[in-house]
Structure 1
Amino acid sequence: MWGKARFTNYVEYIRWITGIQDGRHALMETLARIAWNVRKLRAARKLTQENLAVDAGVDRTAISGIERGEYNASVNLLDRLATAMGVDISVFFAIPQEGDAMPEPMKPGRKPEK
């Protein structure tokens, strides 16, 4: 999802991930919002999907699916992700500010130990 598609803000991202131009489909918008926030928080903490998955006790493909807006995560899973990232679960539902930049992708490959 993040490869060739480039977005300058949250609104463009919502329109792309949902395929909806008027934003009427609430579930898809919520999944996209969660995807945006999980990706943003993970990137800010410089965590790979694999490292976050291990810390949260889930498979890496679940993290990938959430970040692509394709996986409808349970409250339990979101709570485990929030705990692993040291945030409250409510941050996943925050509406990004207008003009928020798309979270930058991390370089591929495993990250060196600190």
Structure 2
Amino acid sequence: METTHRIFTTPFSKVYPMYVQKAERKGRTQAEVDQLIAWLTGYDQNGLHRQLERQVDFATFFAESPAFNADSKLIKGVVCGVRVEEVADPLMQKIRYLDKLIDELAKGKAMEKIIRR
């Protein structure tokens, strides 16, 4: 019997500030974090703000994403010791994709490279 991972039921609004803090500690901005979230999920600024206000969990955040980016398959690499392209659970993979994008932003990678243009 498989148990649901705790991150799935964690409110996105609890983790979002940590994404922003991680980016800002490395000289990046909240606007850049929001741009990455928009690229990955299709949420515009109002949609993202609404999800944060509603305090939806990660499962709902990704389930309701307007247009999950097909180019997300181009995201490769290791985050938390796991290759994102090898994550079996589709929801966990989406969460790891976002983690990887934030990591790349914090490491100073150019936005064009992060969003795989």
Q: TM-score range by the shorter chain?
A: 0.3 to 0.5
Q: RCO greater where, 1 or 2, for CA within 8 Å and sep 6 or more?
A: 1
Structure having the larger proportion of residues in helix: 2
Instruction: Report the TM-score, using the length of structure 2 for normalisation.
Output: 0.33
